[in-house]
Amino acid sequence: MLEIDLKFDIGKNKLEFTKDQKELIRESSNSLLEILNSRDFENEVIRYSWKGKEGFNHTKDSNSVIYKKILSGDDKFVDKYPDDQNQLGDNDLDVWVIPYKAKRNKVGKTYKGTYKSWININNLNYRMNKYKNNPQLLHSLVSQNIIHEYCHNLGYEHIGNERNKNNNIYSVPYAIGGIVKNLLTQKLFKDLDSKTWEDFEKEEYDCDFNMED
């Protein structure tokens, strides 16, 4: 069974996550872990298709290979950090998060050559305030962010940093993030008013994740 090894780091100019932000990320990581270990997640990944063709965009890996990689803990850049206790294929999803500040519509980013992920606290604070009365919606958005960047860690990419260009929405990082978000929120649909749900759905399309060199 997959586990999550969550680590917090200090950002530029000694920027740190607050206590509440850390607690949110921990809770969201637990929600993410529950989804990744579920049969529903396995089925969604194995059956995924876009434009009528089975598979994900911007990769030659089959759906089954992608699913196995996610659950393997086979982090691509572990050899860059020999002092860390991470091990390849250890069924341990290593999440190393760092705070940074950017425009509110930017959710997070990572870089080639590192398995660290950066979370935009301006976006995080905005979402924490907007969804303070809907914690499960908030957890789903943060979980989506975490798994998106982790898919980059596994070596999957999209072209450019905009989800609505180059069919990036069907790439592994975006599509897996969408699967996680949907599985975490599908049970809530009947309990939410239409305006709240419409705003929540639009939230995803107004925000971008970055993959930088």
Span 156-172, pLDDT tens digits: 988 776 666 778 899 99
- The single residue listed with the structure tokens 């897996």 is 176
Predicted confidence at residue 91, as pLDDT, reads 79
Look at strands 49-50 and 3-8 and give their pairing. Answer: unpaired
- Residue 201 has phi, psi (to 5 degrees) of -65, -40
Alpha carbon 202 to chain centroid, angstroms: 17
Instruction: Indicate if the pLDDT at residue 213 is higher than 60.
Output: no
Predicted confidence at residue 171, as pLDDT, reads 94
Span 103-153, pLDDT tens digits: 998 899 988 777 789 999 999 999 999 999 889 899 999 999 999 999 988
What average pLDDT does the structure give for the chain? 85
Confidence of residue 56 (pLDDT cuts 50, 70, 90): very high
Domain boundaries, the chain: 3-212
Predicted confidence at residue 205, as pLDDT, reads 47
Report d(CA 118, CA 34) in Å as an integer: 23
Sign of CA dihedral 153, 137, 25, 204: positive
Span 5-55, pLDDT tens digits: 899 999 999 999 999 999 999 999 999 999 999 999 999 999 999 989 999
Report d(CA 134, CA 141) in Å as an integer: 11
Q: For the residues 82-109, what does the mean pLDDT come to?
A: 79
Report d(CA 209, CA 204) in Å as an integer: 10
Ordered alpha helix ranges (H), the chain: 19-36, 39-46, 63-72, 121-130, 135-153, 172-185, 194-205
Burial of 142: CB neighbours in 10 Å, binned 0-12, 13-18, 19+: buried
pTM for the structure as a whole = 0.88
How many other C-beta atoms lie within 10 A of the C-beta of residue 13?
Answer: 7
The DSSP string of 131-170 is TTT-HHHHHHHHHHHHHHHHHHHTT---SSS-TTSTTGGG
Please tell me which residue, 212 or 47, carries the higher pLDDT value.
47
Tokens of 142: 């943060």
Predicted confidence at residue 83, as pLDDT, reads 52
**Torsion of the alpha carbons at 46, 47, 50 and 56, rounded to the nearest 10:** 0
